[in-house]
Amino acid sequence: MTNSPRTPGIAAARLEAEILAQNFSDLHPPLDGHEALVAADRCYFCHDAPCITACPTDIDIPLFIRQIATGTPEAAARTIFEQNILGGMCARVCPTETLCEEACVREAAEGKPVLIGQLQRYATDTVMAAGVHPFERAPETGKRVAVVGAGPAGLACAHRLAMHGHAVEIFDARPKGGGLNEYGIAYYKTTDGFAEAEVEWLMKIGGITMHNGKALGRDITLEGLRAEYDAVFLGMGLAGVNALRAEGEERDGVVDAVDFISNLRQAENLAALPVGRKVVVIGGGMTAIDAAVQSKLLGADEVTLVYRRDRAAMPASAYEQDLAASKGVRFIFNAMPLEVLGNGAATALRCEYTKSEGRSLTGTGETFDLEADQILKAIGQTLDGAPDGLAIEGGKIAVTGAGRTSADGVWAGGDCASGGEDLTVTAVAEGRDAAEDIHASLVG
Amino acid sequence: MADLSSDFIGISSPNPFWLASAPPTDKEYNVRRAFEAGWGGVVWKTLGAEGLPVVNVNGPRYGAIYGADRRLLGLNNIELITDRDLYTNLEEIKRVKADYPDRAMIVSIMVPCEEQAWKDILPLVEDTGADGIELNFGCPHGMSERGMGAAVGQVPEYIEMVTRWCKQYYSRPVIVKLTPNITDIRKPAEAAHRGGADAVSLINTINSITSVNLDTMSPEPSIGGKGSHGGYCGPAVKPIAMSMVSEIARNAETRGLPISGIGGVTTWRDAAEFMALGAGNVQVCTAAMTYGFKIVAEMISGLSQYLDEKGMSLDDLVGRAVPNVTDWQYLDLNYVTKARIDQDACIKCGRCYAACEDTSHQAISMSEDRVFEVIDAECVACNLCVNVCPVEDCITMVELAPGEIDERTGKPVSPEYANWTTHPNNPGAVKAAE
């Protein structure tokens, strides 16, 4: 270690390698067999269970937990994968505290839900660690489908189509598949190269070809795909980022949080990653939290998260907020950035307090300066380079029903499509449902 | 603190909690620990006749079934009577009794069904200064194959005969322990009564196979791939035991015969229930084997608190529920209740709905936002919803007052008591009316 958290500016190796490894290890270590049984015993096997309703992919949670409790985690995994082929990743990254576990009747009964996410991981890990792929592909149909984007939506769609016997070709702009699972999720939520391993495991269904480094609009076009394939699914996510629209945004040290997170996820050596001594994160979503927490874990001395609205309005869940607070992230609510101060490199962020009336937000005139050598922008992503000819709604590709776009033979799902929350699990559901619709239209 | 000191057939103990004849009472070391922990008495593990002691298997003796969180609900065993030398046991019994004169010391005995065998052992037991004996007519495995234990307990004539010998050759109280592996528990109890028994104790363990290993196809506990039925005990057998205790308590032939209640007693509440059904005291084994001797502290504090709250003495409690145990035909058919769901307590699991809709009377409605309500016109008050609800007191049975309309029948609730014996649907009743 050459540096410390108090080394000025942006520097690497602020913490010992050992501490870094500890900081970025599994946030929730996997349950062992005994822990899984104890947790499974708590499930009441509710009728028409609220947890199922709360799950965007409608996993039969009481059934899979009962299968764990009776010593058949393999059957439990199949129950999960039938609804959600990325059940392994969702078990790790789903905000269960706002989905299944929030709906769990034991949350209502005693404020302690059944550990659904961790039990799901227990079941899916059992099967994935054994290298078993639980599904078989139907006989070839001769139909070919192009999938743009190898993120959760694209992968779920491709897998379901392949299961039905169609030939699928996935095109992804990045060097690796997985999308945000690979590039956009906090390191400690999915460790040990799980995202990459999951893609490999998913592809075992057969019938799927992956083309990396192929971006829509650069290397391929929608028109070309429509001409060549029987159907096209668009699941390329939101590649653009919102601008701060504050003076001085171009100064050194001002970066997009998604890039910071992506670099971190792909880093071979965490100690080689530079991070500021004083980091300010702007935004209130999961990306903001992930960036803030990881800055702290990399060794930043002070990390402040600035959000323009109040705590209740924050898109990041209470659980995520508490996690950040527990790691030492400071929150400033009701404040918006005005200007990045500095001379070449950023030295501070000037902010103005806000007041909100309904949806509208105005500055109060009162300002303050936050010292900062690194400023991470996490103020939302945008659809970048949507193909011409597709109807757009609210900045996203407009879809109806199971992901049908305004263009014939073109479906869309995941973050790039309208409707649904921008969550891995929602993307999986949309990809899967679009695949069923595509299948119906191809064989119908 | 209520006075828990107990006088059971003239045997006094500081509380009514005895340890049953079983592994926990097999030797001096354990029994001293039990007395130090506060147990009122022990029934020493069954002694056999003089000579080479029995041998036990050298593989597993116990099997179990579990509830949620691996909570032990039932235990079975294939252990035999004491496998230690008779004189070693007798010396230890004498020593411990001398050191703990205020505790009840009962000696369990099982020897062959021959007068001489009893004539031989009883003076030896008498000499220990123990307060009484318990005749083990219940052990269902191993010993029964040799004509002892349950093999005697299943033949009322043998029970009567051996009890007489014991009353003849032994001066202190004689308790006869009954096996539940019979069709009518009253018969052996009556036999013991006729033989002059001072009390009966029940139940001994129930024939059982706790599980089958689905890989080896051996019953558990498995001895080299084979298993034998063992004696079942623990919380799971309590309802069976209480029914049998109550049958003896209310049977005309045996009414007033003191009963030592055994079978799944785990908490003070279990003990109080047994006593309310006519047991003068209780014997405990599985709970101690699961949690250790310390559990008696909770039994003592709990029963004391209960008696204080009710303003009852221990004697007041014994048999207090017996008059309320009756035959089905005397139950009041004009007693009408309906299930009521406390919406504030409801956690919306829907188990009441699934149980009622799938398996009962379709008397619970479910709204889109998961509000569960009882449909009085369909509710027969079966109580299944109460039983499956995970939240205590969330669903209760509320009695309809006389005059209120039972929406299921459309008729007002009658204030009169009426049972099956006089019901018009009862052919016997119609005949009697003619």
What phi, psi does B189 have (nearest 5°)?
-65, -40
Chain A contact set for B70 (CB, 8 A): 37-38, 41
The tens digit of pLDDT for each residue in B78-110 reads: 999 999 999 999 999 999 999 999 999 999 999
Would you say B340 and B352 are in contact if contact means Cβ atoms under 8 Å apart?
A: no
Closest CA to A347 of A278, A398, A262: A278
Tell me whether A332 touches chain B (CB under 8 Å). Answer: no
Peptide linkage before B203 cis (omega within 30 of 0): yes
- C-beta atoms of A44 and B390 within 8 A: yes
What distance in Å separates residue B347's CA from the closest CA in chain A? 5
Chain A contact set for B351 (CB, 8 A): 44-47
Tell me whether A105 touches chain B (CB under 8 Å). Answer: yes
Instruction: Identify the closest residue of chain B to A49 by CA–CA distance.
Output: B349
What distance in Å separates residue A66's CA from the closest CA in chain B? 12
Instruction: Identify the closest residue of chain A to B388 by CA–CA distance.
Output: A44
The tens digit of pLDDT for each residue in A170-225 reads: 999 999 999 999 999 999 999 999 999 999 999 999 999 999 999 999 999 999 99
- B83 token code pair: 């496998």
Q: What is d(CA A85, CA A428) in angstroms, rounded to the nearest whole number?
A: 8
The tens digit of pLDDT for each residue in A31-56 reads: 999 999 999 999 999 999 999 999 99
With H, G, I as helix, E, B as strand and everything else as coil, classify residue A247. strand
Instruction: Identify the closest residue of chain B to A34 by CA–CA distance.
Output: B69
Q: What is d(CA B60, CA B223) in angstroms, rounded to the nearest whole number?
A: 7
Would you say A50 and A385 are in contact if contact means Cβ atoms under 8 Å apart?
A: no
DSSP A139: P
Closest CA to A372 of A323, A420, A300, A309: A300
Tell me whether B70 touches chain A (CB under 8 Å). Answer: yes
Q: What is d(CA A96, CA A107) in angstroms, rounded to the nearest whole number?
A: 12
Q: What is d(CA B200, CA B206) in angstroms, rounded to the nearest whole number?
A: 17
Would you say B209 and B227 are in contact if contact means Cβ atoms under 8 Å apart?
A: yes
Catalytic positions of B are: 139
Task: Return residues 374-393 of B near A (CB < 8 Å).
Answer: 390-391
Best of A42, A45, A46, A61 to disrupt the B interface (most B CBs within 10 Å) is: A46
Closest CA to B318 of B280, B282, B357, B356: B280
- B90 token code pair: 């007798």
Query: Mind giving me the DSSP string for B8-26?
Result: ETTEEESSSEEE-SSGGGS
Chain B contact set for A50 (CB, 8 A): 348, 370
Tell me whether A21 touches chain B (CB under 8 Å). Answer: no
* pLDDT per residue rounded down to tens, chain B (434 residues): 899 999 999 999 999 999 999 999 999 999 999 999 999 999 999 999 999 999 999 999 999 999 988 999 999 999 999 999 999 999 999 999 999 999 999 999 999 999 999 999 999 999 999 999 999 998 777 778 888 888 889 999 999 999 999 999 999 999 999 999 999 999 999 999 999 999 999 999 999 999 999 999 999 999 999 999 999 999 999 999 999 999 999 999 999 999 999 999 999 999 999 999 999 999 999 999 999 999 999 999 999 999 999 999 999 999 999 999 999 999 999 999 999 999 999 999 999 999 999 999 999 999 999 999 999 999 999 999 999 999 999 999 999 999 999 999 999 999 999 999 999 999 987 555 44
The tens digit of pLDDT for each residue in B277-298 reads: 999 999 999 999 999 999 999 9
DSSP B329: G
Q: CB-side exposure of B334: number of CA atoms within 13 Å?
A: 15
Residue corresponding to tokens 């909690």: B17
Q: CB-side exposure of A441: number of CA atoms within 13 Å?
A: 18
Tell me, what's the pLDDT at B429? 79
Closest CA to A235 of A434, A43, A84: A434
What phi, psi does A7 have (nearest 5°)?
-60, 130
- C-beta atoms of A44 and B351 within 8 A: yes
Instruction: Identify the closest residue of chain A to B66 by CA–CA distance.
Output: A41
Low-confidence ranges of chain A (pLDDT < 70): 1
Tell me, what's the pLDDT at A1? 59
What distance in Å separates residue B267's CA from the closest CA in chain A? 23
Angle in degrees, 0-180, between the axes of helices B115-126 and B86-99, rounded to the nearest 10: 40
- C-beta atoms of B351 and A50 within 8 A: no
Tell me, what's the pLDDT at B430? 59
Q: Are strands B174-177 and B6-8 parallel, antiparallel or unpaired?
A: unpaired
Residue A221 CB neighbour total at 10 angstroms: 13
Query: Mind giving me the DSSP string for B175-234?
Result: EEEPPS-SS-THHHHHHHHHTT-SEEEE---EEE--EEETTTTEEES-BTTB---EEEES
Chain B contact set for A41 (CB, 8 A): 68-70
Identify which of B69, B349, B354 has the shortest CB distance to residue A105: B349
